[in-house]
Amino acid sequence: MGSRSIITRWKHMGYSKGLGRLRTRQREVGFTLVELLLALFLFALIAGVIFAAFAAVASGVEKGRQSIEIYRVGRVALLRMAQEVGAAMPPPAGSDTLFQGKKNADGGTGHDRIDFLTIPYRRYSDKVPSYELCRVAYYVADNPQGKTALFREEDCSGDEDERREHATRLELTDLAVGLEITYYDAEKDYEEWPPNRDDQSLLPCRVRLALTLRDGPQYARAFITTVALPMRGACEDAQTRRTQTQSNVRPASGR
């Protein structure tokens, strides 16, 4: 009896109506189809922006890595060429191996070739003494995969026929697309060496090496250096002689 009277009083006070409205609101809570579609659209938009930002950062990092690798390869290859060209030696008496530089040696595609005698810094055969004078050549040609590459050729054999059979060919890089070489004497520059057939024993004073590497499908990067040949001996151009003459001429002191 007591509990029934309490419930009756609670209903008369109006609490039963509020409880019914609360239950109705709980049944109405949820998302409509339009709200779900809008939420999915916003999520896809934000995810696309974040993905594009990450892709741009990754692409930049990859391009930077490729640029660093190309710079390293070009620097090492050019330094190797400059060291050996700078150590070129004149041919001994009676030798048919001369310092030669040919323009468009591969048939007119702009790839030069240089051949010279030197003592290589690094040996690729234990059978060759470290003091042996060898013929070294640098040139750009197609490799077996069909790409243009920079090659180094070395032979330390005796006569011409033995050199052709025992020459060691080494591919330095398959990123090379061009090699241009310029030769300088005391007066002017030449595209080939020797400039005339009468003097086959002289070395050039300086050699300018321009190696071009492939930097992506549409770009190329050139690495250029000029190296002097000490074994040529005294080699002064006209500008150097004029400067030295002017510095040696002093006005006479008056009395």
pLDDT at 10 exceeding the cut of 80:
no
* Average confidence score pLDDT of the chain: 77
The confidence score (pLDDT) of residue 237 equals 54
pLDDT bin (cut points 50, 70, 90) of residue 204 is: very high
The confidence score (pLDDT) of residue 196 equals 79
Residue 204 near residue 173 (C-beta atoms within 8 A): no
As a whole number of angstroms, the distance between CA 105 and CA 153 comes to 14
218 contact partners, CB below 8 Å, separation of at least 6:
none
The confidence score (pLDDT) of residue 206 equals 93
Residue 140 near residue 126 (C-beta atoms within 8 A): no
pLDDT bin (cut points 50, 70, 90) of residue 9 is: low
The confidence score (pLDDT) of residue 242 equals 42
User: Average pLDDT for residues 235-245, to the nearest whole number?
Assistant: 49
pLDDT at 107 exceeding the cut of 70:
no
The confidence score (pLDDT) of residue 245 equals 39
% of the chain residues with pLDDT over 70: 68
